[in-house]
């Protein structure tokens, strides 16, 4: 896990989506649908985001969750 300074100014993390959820697709779908995470990343469905496996970053501040180019 890479440590980064997020847009909020606090320290957060950065890694591939599948590493955040340790390859657990069901867990990803649950949180994606609950919080609209796939939409925050720019994908129409949780499955589309999972298959793309983008680099994401976040912190304890939910507004920091985003897709990044790495």
- pLDDT score recorded for residue 70: 64
E strand or H helix at 38, and its extent? helix 37-40
Pull the structure tokens for residue 63: 């507004």
- pLDDT score recorded for residue 32: 97
- pLDDT score recorded for residue 69: 87
**pLDDT averaged over the chain?**
95
- % of the chain surpassing 90 pLDDT: 93
**Where are any strands of DSSP class E within the chain?**
2-5, 11-16, 55-58, 66-68
Backbone angles phi, psi at 14, to 5 degrees: -145, 130
> Domain segments of the chain: what residues?
2-68
Rounded to two decimals, the pTM is 0.88
- pLDDT score recorded for residue 68: 96
Summarize pLDDT for 26-56 with one digit per residue, the tens. 999 999 999 999 999 999 999 999 999 999 9
Pull the structure tokens for residue 23: 């390859």
């Amino acid at each position: 896990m890479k440590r980064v300074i997020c847009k909020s100014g606090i320290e957060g993390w950065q890694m591939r989506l599948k590493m955040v959820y340790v390859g657990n697709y069901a867990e990803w779908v649950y949180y994606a649908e609950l919080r609209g995470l796939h939409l925050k990343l720019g994908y129409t469905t949780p499955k589309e985001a999972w298959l793309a496996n983008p680099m994401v970053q976040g912190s304890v501040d939910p507004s920091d969750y985003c897709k990044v180019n790495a």
